[in-house]
């Protein structure tokens, strides 16, 4: 299978996040991940909302726009590789994010999640190629007969925690517009 042609700076897949307060989300991503906004790409709609913006994050392009008042809430779920999971989480929390999965060893990588203050959930990984098991031939063999796999056959305390924290985070996701501040 060939890789489809994409413009310079774009990958085959590039997330597009519709969010309330796109400007706030853009600033959050710049501060937390070191994303770089492409100034020439920013387009405001006639209503003053962000119609289109682009951010470079590592070798990827992320598009962010405002959700129109009548559009449904569509939380984004984005996986990002970083050099330092703990520092990324600290920056996210300092800007209103909430850690939902503490840094955990996962298949040789370090894995965590946080919810941002805009209603989106971020999977944050640090790839550790020296210890990662994904590429090892023995990893495939260790799965045995895939048809006979059950959760109990491969669940570890770490994997159980990762799954439970996702279920809790999903239960806590709410449309930011439906959150009413108490007096």
Domain count, the chain: 2
For residue 13, the model assigns a pLDDT of 83
Using CA atoms, how far apart are residues 24 and 14, in angstroms rounded to an integer? Answer: 20
Question: Considering the entire predicted model, what is its pTM?
Answer: 0.84
Last residue of a domain, one of 56, 74, 92: 74
Which residue shows structure tokens 């770490």? 158
- CA torsion sign for 64, 66, 70, 76 is positive
Last residue of a domain, one of 58, 74, 90: 74
Q: What is the CATH number of the domain that holds 108?
A: 3.30.720.110
Last residue of a domain, one of 34, 57, 74: 74
Shared domain for 112 and 141, answered yes or no, is: yes
Q: Name the strands in the sheet holding 121-126, side by side, starting at the edge strand that comes first in the sequence.
A: 77-81, 121-126, 109-115, 98-106
What pLDDT, in 10s, does the model give residues 84-142? 999 999 999 999 999 999 999 887 889 999 999 999 999 999 988 776 555 555 445 55
Instruction: Give SS3 for 149.
Output: coil
Task: Say if residue 83's pLDDT is above 80.
Answer: yes
For residue 145, the model assigns a pLDDT of 56
Task: Say if residue 183's pLDDT is above 90.
Answer: no
For residue 51, the model assigns a pLDDT of 97
Shared domain for 101 and 80, answered yes or no, is: yes
SS3 content of the chain, % helix, strand, coil (to 5): 30, 25, 40
Shared domain for 166 and 82, answered yes or no, is: yes
Q: What is the CATH number of the domain that holds 47?
A: 3.30.720.120
For residue 24, the model assigns a pLDDT of 98
Decide if 59 is inside a domain.
Answer: yes
Shared domain for 91 and 164, answered yes or no, is: yes
What pLDDT, in 10s, does the model give residues 145-182? 556 566 666 678 888 899 999 999 999 998 998 875 54
Shared domain for 134 and 91, answered yes or no, is: yes
Shared domain for 116 and 146, answered yes or no, is: yes
Decide if 7 is inside a domain.
Answer: no
What pLDDT, in 10s, does the model give residues 31-75? 999 999 999 999 999 999 999 999 999 989 999 999 999 999 999
Shared domain for 32 and 101, answered yes or no, is: no
For residue 152, the model assigns a pLDDT of 67
Shared domain for 61 and 81, answered yes or no, is: no
* DSSP E strand boundaries for the chain: 16-19, 36-37, 43-44, 50-57, 60-66, 77-81, 98-106, 109-115, 121-126
For residue 136, the model assigns a pLDDT of 52
For residue 146, the model assigns a pLDDT of 54
The DSSP letter of residue 100 is: E
Containing structural domain, residue 99: 75-174
Decide if 3 is inside a domain.
Answer: no
Shared domain for 132 and 164, answered yes or no, is: yes
Decide if 31 is inside a domain.
Answer: yes
What is the CB neighbour count within 10 angstroms for residue 116? 23
Shared domain for 64 and 21, answered yes or no, is: yes
Decide if 4 is inside a domain.
Answer: no
Shared domain for 25 and 89, answered yes or no, is: no
Q: How confident is the model at residue 10 (pLDDT cuts 50, 70, 90)?
A: confident
């Amino acid at each position: 299978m060939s890789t489809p042609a994409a413009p310079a700076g774009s990958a085959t897949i590039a997330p597009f996040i519709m969010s309330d307060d796109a400007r706030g989300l853009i600033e959050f991503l710049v501060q937390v991940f070191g994303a770089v906004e492409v100034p020439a790409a920013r387009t405001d709609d006639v209503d003053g909302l962000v119609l289109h913006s682009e951010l470079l994050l590592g070798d990827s392009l992320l598009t962010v726009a405002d959700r129109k008042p009548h559009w449904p809430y569509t939380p984004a779920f984005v996986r990002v590789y970083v050099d330092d999971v703990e520092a990324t989480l600290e920056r996210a929390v300092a800007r209103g994010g909430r850690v939902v999965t503490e840094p955990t060893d996962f298949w040789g990588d370090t894995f965590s999640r946080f919810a941002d203050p805009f209603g989106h959930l971020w999977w944050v990984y640090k790839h550790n190629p020296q210890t990662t098991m994904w590429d090892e031939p023995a990893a495939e063999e260790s799965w045995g007969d895939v048809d006979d796999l059950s959760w109990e056959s491969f669940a570890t305390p770490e994997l159980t925690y990762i799954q439970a924290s996702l279920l809790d985070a999903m239960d806590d996701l709410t449309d930011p517009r439906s959150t009413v501040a108490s007096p």
